[in-house]
Structure 1
Amino acid sequence: MKRCFISRAGALLLFIFSSLASFPLQAQEKVQLKEVKIEGNLRVEEDGIRLHVKSRAGELFDPPTVDQDVKSIYRMGFFDDVRAELSPDGVLTYAVKEKPYIREVKIVGNSELSREKIEAAFGVNPRTVLDRDKVSEGIEKVKKLYTDQGYVNAQIEYGTSLVENNQAVVNLTVDEGKRLLIQKIAFEGNKAFSDSELKGLMATKEKWFLSFITNRGVLDQDILTNDVAVLSAHYYDHGFVDHKIDEPVVLRRRDGIEMVIRVDEGEQYRVGKVELGGDLIDDADKLLKKVQLTTGQIFSGGRLRGDITNLSDMYSNKGFAFVQVDPRTKVNSQDKTVDVALVISQGPPVYFNRVMVAGNTKTRDKVIRRE
C-alpha cells in the first residue's frame, strides 16, 4: 500500500506505486505529511541526519524535495543505502543502511616494510566508517610506498569480513615481490651530450654497492618525471629549442631495471634579433647593453630568464615594484634563429610614506633613518 522511491549513491532510481491504481496521482501529489521518520540508524545520531532533511510534517509531499533529502543524507558519507517511503496516511520514512564500522585492520605478508609504515600510508584506521573509495586510495599509497623502496612488483589485495553489530575487519594481503633497482640508464639519439653528462643531471641514478643503505637506484616516478623536465631545460638552454624527449621506457628484467630515454635533439638555434619594447626608462640601446642575449650566439633559455630578472631588478630599483617583463620569442626554422622581444610594462611607481623604526633602545629614530 506504500509508494516508495529508492536512492543509492544519491541518484533517484525507482518509483514504485502500490496496487491502488485507482488512487489519483494528483491526490497522491497533494498528500500532507503527517510525520517524517528516520529508521535504520545505529551509530549516526538522528538529529545529525535531520539536519540534511528539508521535508517537514504539515507540509505537502514534494518528490523533488524528498529526492534532494535522499541525496543529501547519502552525501553524509555514512550510509550504503538510503530509501524514502511514503505511506497512504502521510508518514514519510527515510530508511538508512549504515556503512560498516571498522573494528580492525589486519596486514599479512609484509616482511621488508613494517606494519607501522604500511598503516601510516594506508590511512584507513579502526573505529572509522568503512569507505571503499578511501580503501582503494590507501592501497595505491601502499603500492607507491613499496615502489619507492624498489619493490616495483608489489601486489596488495584486500577483503572485508563482516562481524557482529555491523562491524568489519579489513584484511590487507601483501605480496612484496623482489626488490628491483635500476641497473642501467641508457640514452638513444643524443649527439650533443654524452650519456654520462645527461645522467649527471638526473636525480634518478643507477644502483651501486651501497644501495642497500642509500636507496640509490630506486625508481621513483615523480623524481623521474622531474628528471625529464631537467633534461629538457638543459637542451633548451643550449639552443635546441625544438628538441623532444620521449617518456622513459622502463624494462623490468629478472635482476633489475633497465631504462631507455629516447632523445630527438633537433637543430641547434642561435639568437636572431633582440629588441626591447613597452615602457622604457632609458634609451633602448643603453638598456640592450644590460641584456646577455646577443645576436649570433647560441640561444639559451637560461640567459633569457636571467635577462628578465636583471631588467625587473633594474626597474624595481627605480621604484617600479610591479614591473612585468614579457618575453616574446619567434622561432625561424629556415635560418635556425630565435628572435627575442622583451616587452616591459613598468606599472605604477611605488613611494615610501613613513619609515617606522621599532626595537631601538639606545639609538634615536632619526639617527637610524639618516643612516
Structure 2
Amino acid sequence: MPKLAFIFVCLLAFALASPPSIEAQSGDSQVRVEEIVVTGNKRVAVGTVLSYLPVRAGDRVTRGSLSIALERLFETELFRDIDISLDGSVLTVTVVENPIINRVNIEGNDALSDKRLLEVLDIQPRRVYTRELALEATQRLIELYQSSGRYAAVVEPQIIELDENRVDLAFVVDEGPLIKISKITFTGNERFSDSALKRTISSRESKWFAIFSTSDKYDEARLDYDVRLLRQFYLTRGFADIEVSRVQGGLLPDRTGFAVNFLLQEGQRYKVNEITVNSDIENVDTSELASLFEFGDDNWYDVRALEQGLLEITNNLGALGYAFVNLDPEIVTNPETGQLDIVVNIGKARKNFVERIEIVNNVRTKDSVVRREFELVEGDAFNQIKLDESIRNIRNLGFLRCESSQSCRQQ
C-alpha cells in the first residue's frame, strides 16, 4: 500500500508570539484564579496537565505568569499547540496533543542493517512524537553513515498519520557511494618525506587493486589515531616540541573521495643534556634513580626511553616498600643549544606493608604449599618485585593456574 507522508506543523512559535487572551484584565494587573478547566486532552489526563501547570486555583496571575505557564507546558513535549485564556476568574487551558509513535521503519538502507540503524535511533513505539525528536534522530543516522565512510548519505524523516492520534515514523535513506581517501598530504614536514610519514599512519590512499582493504575508508576516529601515530613517530626521534593537527578533510567536488592533510610543526630536534630527580621521600638515592634512564649512544630524546625510565623508578621505589608513588616529569628545552633537561619530581609517599595474605580457590592444595612459594610474609614492607617473583613461583608449581597477579586457580 502506498504511504502518504504528512507533516505536522508545530504551532509553538505562533503560540509564544501570541500572548494568552486574558479578559477583564488590563496592563499587568493581577487576577485571582478560582477555577482551572482543561479541554482538548484525549490521552493525557487532566491531572497530568495540571501537575505541569505552575498555577493553582486561588493563585493570582498576570500576563507574565501565564506566559511562563505556557512555556512550562510546551517544555513537556506532550502538546503541539496550547492556548491559555482567562475569562473572569476561570482559567481555561486548551491543548492539542502530540501524536504517539506506533512504529519506526527504515527504508532504502543496504550497507547498514535495520538493527544497527534502529539501535542508533533509540526511538521506541508509544513514545511521544515531536519534530525535534525526528530531526535529532535524523542527525544521528547521518553521523553513523559518515563514520562508515558514506559522507554523501541523505536521510529524510517522514510520518504516516494513523487513527487515534498515532503515527508511523519512517526514515528514508539514500546511502550514496562509499567515499574513500583519494589523497593524503602533509604540510610542514621538513625532516621526513611524505612517503615516510605515510608509512607511519594507519590510513591509506585508495588504490584500485586494494579492493579488500578498509584502511582507505574515510574514518574520523582512524584519522585521529593517525595524529597520535605521527606525534609518537617524532617524539621517539628527538622532536620534543612536535605539534600535529589534522585539517578537516575536504570532499572532492564530485563527492567520490576525500583529500586529507596533516599539519605539522616539527620544531627543534633535541639531545638529552641532564637528568635530575628530586624526591620528597627521604633516604632515596636520587642520583641512582637518574641513572635508570637510557637514551642510547647518540643521546637523542626518545619518549619511550623516558617512559621506561619512569617505570624503572616506580619499580625501584616499589622494592623499597613505596607501592604508590607520584612521578611528575618535566621537560626543559633549549632550542638554541638543541639540548633538553629532564626533571623528575617524586611526591611524598608512605611505605606500605603487607597486612594479610589470603589464598582462595585452592580446593586440593593446602595453603602451606602455596605460602612457601611467597617471597613476602605478613608484616613485610610491600615489594612489587618480590610479589611478581611469588606469582612466578606459584605458576611454576605446575598444578595452579594464575590468571593475574591477584588471582590463581587450581588446574
Task: Report the TM-score when normalising by structure 1.
Answer: 0.79
Alignment of 1:300-339 (within 5 A): 300-339=302-341
Contact 2:20 2:66 in 1 (8 A): no
The letter for the 1-side match of 2:176 is: G
Q: Which residue of 1 aligns with 2:241?
A: 242
The one-character-per-residue Cα deviations of 1:243-262 (angstroms, maximum 9, x if unpaired) are 33342443526453343334
The answer to whether residue 354 in structure 2 is matched with residue 352 in structure 1 is yes
The answer to whether residue 284 in structure 2 is matched with residue 279 in structure 1 is no
The one-character-per-residue Cα deviations of 1:276-315 (angstroms, maximum 9, x if unpaired) are 1132442221111212358972122232222223222332
Matches of 2:312 and 2:46, distance apart in 1: 65
Q: Which residue of 2 aligns with 1:202?
A: 201
* Shift, 1:235, TM fit: 1.4
Matches of 1:230 and 1:245, distance apart in 2: 10
Contact 1:102 1:170 in 2 (8 A): yes
Aligned residues with identical type, % of pairs:
25
Alignment of 1:37-186 (within 5 A): 37-53=37-53, 55-57=55-57, 59-61=58-60, 71-89=71-89, 91-105=90-104, 107-160=106-159, 162-186=161-185
The answer to whether residue 55 in structure 2 is matched with residue 25 in structure 1 is no
| Contiguous gaps of at least 5 residues in structure 2 | 1-10, 374-411
* Shift, 1:338, TM fit: 2.1
The answer to whether residue 252 in structure 2 is matched with residue 252 in structure 1 is yes
Matches of 1:157 and 1:94, distance apart in 2: 34
Cα–Cα, structure 1 residues 350 and 40, in superposed 2: closer, same or farther, change >3 Å? farther
Contact 1:272 1:338 in 2 (8 A): yes
Alignment of 1:280-295 (within 5 A): 280=281, 281-293=283-295
Contact 2:20 2:85 in 1 (8 A): no
* Shift, 1:270, TM fit: 1.9
Q: Secondary structure at the match of 2:164?
A: helix
Q: Secondary structure at the match of 1:272?
A: strand
Q: Which residue of 1 aligns with 2:265?
A: 264
Cα–Cα, structure 1 residues 147 and 15, in superposed 2: closer, same or farther, change >3 Å? closer
Contact 2:280 2:346 in 1 (8 A): yes
| Contiguous gaps of at least 5 residues in structure 1 | 1-5
Contact 1:163 1:169 in 2 (8 A): yes
Contact 1:149 1:215 in 2 (8 A): no
The letter for the 1-side match of 2:128 is: V
Cα–Cα, structure 1 residues 152 and 25, in superposed 2: closer, same or farther, change >3 Å? closer
Contact 1:242 1:265 in 2 (8 A): yes
* Shift, 1:102, TM fit: 2.5
Contact 2:102 2:126 in 1 (8 A): yes
The answer to whether residue 346 in structure 2 is matched with residue 341 in structure 1 is no
